A and B are shown apart, each in its own frame.
Chain A
């Protein structure tokens, strides 16, 4: 067949796909052709599971290993039919949490972990690269088979195919950024390709059965005769491969993309659960006949992987061969496109954007800014992925069997399964467990399957393969822990999944989940308890009135109405309710954000526009904002409390000042009385003496004496007043010495003249204690107390007890007389200035003496108090044995 025809056909086919994708996207945007988002297209889109590997490789596998190829269909079929509930749960979670990829799923479940998202992305990229290489290889091989190997270099063809696929994927996969990451155009194009695949394979099958073999019965005879029928089934390998394909079906990024992310209604799953297995059945119907007939009619040594193509060619059925080529081409391109879109989303969301955000100095960014980065990141990812696939293709030399490359990939992505299933069924699963399982499983896969797949001596040396790294033979890639003789694939699958699961469970049990992990765990495990799944929403269904009502509550009536009316005018509408356009929603959200914060505004608009379920992350952000607002209001509250406290303090201070002013009046009045009394005597007697008249010399002398005494009394009073003033202002300086207490008491007794007037009982032994104090000042206190006893003790045989005892870090010195004592009601006030015992207008008070005593004792770091309940008047002076500066200061 001429090369040009093949190239033109391929290009024409791609152009058709372009047209379909473009049309479907437009129709979806305009809300038309609803069947485009119906269960049929959904089911057909799932067929990206069947890649070129299935299209060509199934026949090859059948030709080489009999019915083993069935396992690849059996796994997904069992999942679709038997574990439909699991798929529904994953789809529901995907809808509710707005999951964008398998990496996002794992990351979301384990507390929005960027690290896990990145890890899964890395695993998916490494696991998918061989798969892309596989598609390139199949397209290249089919191209060569159709056009003849001499016509073009295989490597050049592969490169051109890779570039072409990159362009197509970029054009349709990154045209716009949708929150839900849905791509209606691509999905429709893929559905069309699914039909082409099926039709092509069935056409070839029909041709083989009826055109070559001559009917079903002859075909069965051929099958009976072919070696296919005699291959023994290995139950272990069957079971392993079925499990592997089932696991891969759930974990492949591209399957997650079409099954969960592109799903617009979870009811479509119900249709797909029977329709997709039927599709698989139809696709596999003619695999064995084609293989059997191919083995029969094709020359020995021809590649059974290409029977689908080479049989029609050999029979000179060029049109059929072209159809078969397009079928294989469809299988390859649809897989590559969807895988690239899924992986590009993962790479941009979980690797590139987080890195870019981390590198920027400020975290907050303009949304348009991020948009450019995201789109750029996706385009670069797509190019990178295809480049990686091409490199892998070149490395493996394009020689490996199609099926074996596919299985290596399957096993790699299957490592995600424990974290995925554990995450949605076990609330105890933790980030640490998931990370440990993923890393260990992936490491084992890399060592036992991926690196050896490059062939002898490329990535792992032959010596290492045979003897293990550095002589550790239990680490031999194909015989871990010394268990040899297993099929390498099953060996890798068994060990990687076992160790992965073990590490996952152990890690989860040993580590503690964070708050967001627990929240996400509960949300995913119990996803069916939380309402019905989200349906897609269209802005057209949103009532502008609802939005206005909400906006009024937040912005206030006038401002909200102004906003809406301005928009209505801008749209050229009458009235004040504008059409709800995405632009208007964005604008409104920004306005609201000014009042309630961005996350809250987004959540509110989302709620009203319907269907948008608020994610945990958004709720957390809402909570953050609320907390900030509450903190602000708490600050205001605190300030207002502070103000009222200050006001109360001012009031109190004012009351104190008033009270002080009253006290001052009373004090002045008291002083005036205390001063006037001696002055009265002085004046009166001096007038008597001055006026002369008859007086005896004794009288004259006595009157002069009174004048003298009263003048002395006045002086003493003034001295006391000044002394007290100095003491109260804290201006007194103490002259500290360490002296025996007995000396101070001796001095005080003799100065007060008590010994001659009353019996004094002392305790000489206890008085022999040294204290650090100001002896003059302490003695002044003692003189005052002893003097009071002398003055006021009216007992017939007056007596004074002076008792000393240690109390804490100081001494108690008690002065107890046997007089009448001080009445209970006066005991509280005797230390006040001019406190008088009895009626406030009555005279005869203790004057300033005790007030001075109290000030002095405080300066000395001690206390003075009246001891009630003794025989007579009893005062206790407590002074510290040692002075320390802080105590003295504290006393001020």
Chain B
């Protein structure tokens, strides 16, 4: 399978703060790729650079084998993004927002209408027709953002914490759609804090640590010695690997 995402020496700085530093990795077509890291490690900044929200300070991003930046309009048509803060227009209804989205990605009016109706129905949002998005609960907002990301049938999907605040039924539905999505040869790149979910859902993953440094990349479960992590702590679970690599410890607080 060819690489859909290729990242070479990617760095992003905001003033004196380095959000990500010299990231290099690739993602194969058809994989469900988990991008993991602790809070503030640069996951969302990486997605922002890979989806064209912002331009990196240095480094190269290639999507579908072509150089990608924030002005790559044609490549943007082939990707779907669910950003960190969802990016919803609070004064629109869900149907209006999705219709706008579909039209912006070049879908015809009738096709947009059909897909929007089906998505709203499937995501249990059809009953909220008269409500502006600003009045939606956080879980409902997440569903709308997810619907917008998949509406135009992208070949590559970027999802930033897609399951946070969504109820179990919604999570199960989204997972089943993502599995079907990758079964068709399309690619999903997602970030999550829930390592158990990542371990069960993803076939490949990468871990970045504070300062945006990549410290592990491999298949799940690991297939080579390199991917199994430190020799003294053999891979038992993604959580164990994550903790051993990032040095996270449960602190014992004498006053707690």
Q: Do A and B come from one complex?
A: no
Contact surface of A with B, Cβ cutoff 8 Å: none
Binding site for A on B (CB under 8 A): none
